[in-house]
C-alpha cells in the first residue's frame, strides 16, 4: 500500500513538472492531472506527508518494500519543494519582461520585487478582496448568454463621483475551447485584484459552440466593447480606455477582436467603434491553421467539426497570427513553458511576428513550469502574474492619458 502510494505520487510529480506528449487525448488527461500539483506543490507535499504518516501506523516501516517506499517519498517530497521554489521565479521573469519592453516604465517600480500575501496563495480558492463590489448579470444583448458582471471599488456610490473620476476598464473574456466556460469561473484573482487597485472590470459571457459556432463568439466580444463605450460611464468607468484580457480561447477572442477593430464581417453593427487600448493574453490561441504547433491531428479535426466549420482560408482569417497590423494596441502575452493544451511555440512565433509589424509595445514572458490555466486560482505564480498585469495596464492607461 505504501509503495503503491509513493509510486503514484512520484508519477504525479513527473506529470506536474514536464509538458505532455503531443497526442490529443493524452494532452487533455495530462492537463487535468498536472494543473493543481504544478501550481500548488506545497499542497501536494502536505497531502503526501499526511497520508504517509497515517499509513505508517498500519505497515512495518522497516520492511524492504516500505523502506523503498519511504526513499521514493523522500525523493518526491524534495521534488515538490523544488517545484514550489520554481514558482517564485515568475517574479523575475515578469519584471524582466516589463523592463525590457517598456523602457518608459518607472525603473523603481519595475525592479522592486512584487509583494505577495501568503494568505492568498495558501487559500487558493477564496477570491473576494475587501472593498470590491460585484454587480451581476447585466444584459448586453437579448440572448441568455449575452450577460456580464462588473467588479469595481465599493467606495464609489454617488453618480457625481462616477462622472468626475472615471476608472479605466478591463473586459475579461473567459476560455473553455469556445464550447465551455462561464463568467465568474476564470480570472477571479485578477479581477478582484484590479478592482481593488481602482479598475472597473467587466467579466463577460458569450454564445458558445456548437450551437453558436464561430464567429458568434467574436461578434459578442465586439458587441460588449461597443456596449461598454456607450454605457460604462453609468457604472463609473472611463469609455476612453478599454483593455481586453483573456485566457486560452478567450485570449484568442480578445486578441482577434483587438486586431480586427472595425472589420464589418466580425461585428453585428458595422458602424460600431470596437477599438481597444491594450490587450493581455494568457496562454492564448494565435494560429488555427496547419502551421500551428497545437492544432494538429485529432485536436485540429475536432476544432473544425464542432467549433469552427471552415475552409483553410477562413481558419487563416480567424487566426490572430494572420491578422497582425501596424497600429495594434499594446500587448502583454504570457505563456507557460509546460502548457499541455496550447504549446508555447505558437506564442513565441506570434510575438516575433507581431513585434516585426506593430508600432506599439509587445511584452512577452514565458513562465517556467506553468501549465495551461495556471491563473484560475491563487498561487505564488498567479500573485506575481496579476501584479505584473496591473503594472502593464497602469502604464498603458497613464500613457493614454498623457496623449489626450
Catalytic machinery residues: 248, 339, 372
DSSP string computed for 182-197: -TTSSSHHHHHHHHHT
237-247, strands of its sheet edge to edge: 132-139, 147-153, 200-204, 167-173, 237-247, 278-282, 331-336, 362-367
CB 346 within 8 A of CB 85: no
CB 260 within 8 A of CB 295: no
Phi-psi region of 383 (alpha: psi -120 to 50; beta: other; left: phi over 0): alpha
Number of Cα atoms under 13 Å in the Cβ half of residue 391 = 29
**Which residue stretches of 102-135 are H helix?**
107-111, 118-121
CA 61, distance to chain mean position in Å, is: 44
CB 43 within 8 A of CB 87: no
Q: How many helices (H) and strands (E) does the chain have?
A: 15, 8
Question: Measured between alpha carbons, how far is 25 from 44 in angstroms, rounded to an integer?
Answer: 24
For 370, counting Cβ atoms within 10 Å of its Cβ (0-12 exposed, 13-18 middle, 19+ buried), the class is buried
- Which residue in this structure is represented by grid cell 454605457? 231
CB 201 within 8 A of CB 170: yes
CB 391 within 8 A of CB 109: yes
Amino acid at each position: 500500500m505504501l509503495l503503491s502510494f509513493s509510486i503514484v505520487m512520484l508519477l504525479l510529480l513527473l506529470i506536474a513538472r514536464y509538458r505532455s506528449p503531443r497526442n490529443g487525448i493524452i494532452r487533455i488527461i495530462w492537463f487535468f492531472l498536472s494543473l493543481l500539483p504544478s501550481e500548488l506543490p506545497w499542497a501536494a507535499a502536505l497531502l503526501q506527508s499526511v497520508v504517509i504518516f497515517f499509513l505508517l501506523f498500519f505497515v512495518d516501516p522497516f520492511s524492504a518494500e516500505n523502506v523503498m517506499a519511504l526513499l521514493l517519498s523522500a525523493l518526491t517530497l524534495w521534488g515538490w519543494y523544488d517545484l514550489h521554489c520554481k514558482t517564485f521565479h515568475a517574479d523575475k521573469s515578469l519584471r524582466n519582461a516589463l523592463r525590457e519592453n517598456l523602457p518608459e516604465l518607472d525603473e523603481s517600480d519595475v525592479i522592486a520585487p512584487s509583494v505577495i500575501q501568503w494568505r492568498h496563495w495558501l487559500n487558493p480558492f477564496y477570491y473576494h478582496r475587501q472593498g470590491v463590489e460585484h454587480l451581476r448579470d447585466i444584459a448586453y444583448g437579448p440572448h441568455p448568454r449575452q450577460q456580464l458582471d462588473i467588479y469595481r471599488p465599493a467606495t464609489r456610490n454617488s453618480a457625481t463621483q462616477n462622472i468626475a473620476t472615471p476608472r479605466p476598464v478591463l473586459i475579461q473574456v473567459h476560455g473553455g475551447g469556445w464550447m465551455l466556460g462561464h463568467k465568474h469561473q476564470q480570472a477571479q484573482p485578477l479581477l478582484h485584484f484590479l478592482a481593488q487597485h481602482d479598475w472597473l472590470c467587466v467579466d463577460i459571457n458569450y454564445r458558445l459552440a456548437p450551437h453558436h459556432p464561430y464567429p458568434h463568439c467574436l461578434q459578442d466580444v465586439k458587441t460588449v466593447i461597443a456596449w461598454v463605450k456607450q454605457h460604462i460611464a453609468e457604472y463609473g468607468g472611463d469609455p476612453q480606455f478599454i483593455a481586453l484580457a483573456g485566457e486560452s480561447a478567450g485570449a484568442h477572442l480578445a486578441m482577434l477582436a483587438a486586431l480586427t477593430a472595425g472589420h464589418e464581417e466580425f461585428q453585428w453593427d458595422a458602424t460600431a467603434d470596437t477599438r481597444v487600448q491594450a490587450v493581455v493574453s494568457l496562454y492564448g490561441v494565435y494560429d488555427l491553421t496547419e502551421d500551428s504547433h497545437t492544432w494538429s491531428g485529432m485536436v485540429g479535426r475536432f476544432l473544425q467539426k464542432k467549433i469552427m466549420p471552415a475552409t483553410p482560408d477562413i481558419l487563416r482569417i480567424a487566426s490572430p497570427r494572420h491578422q497582425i497590423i501596424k497600429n495594434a494596441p499594446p500587448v502583454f502575452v504570457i505563456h507557460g513553458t509546460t502548457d499541455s493544451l496550447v504549446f508555447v511555440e505558437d506564442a513565441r512565433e506570434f510575438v516575433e511576428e507581431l513585434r516585426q509589424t506593430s508600432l506599439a509595445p509587445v511584452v512577452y514572458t514565458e513562465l517556467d513550469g506553468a501549465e495551461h490555466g495556471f491563473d484560475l486560482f491563487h498561487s505564488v505564480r498567479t500573485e506575481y502574474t496579476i501584479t505584473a498585469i496591473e503594472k502593464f495596464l497602469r502604464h498603458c492607461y497613464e500613457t493614454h492619458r498623457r496623449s489626450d
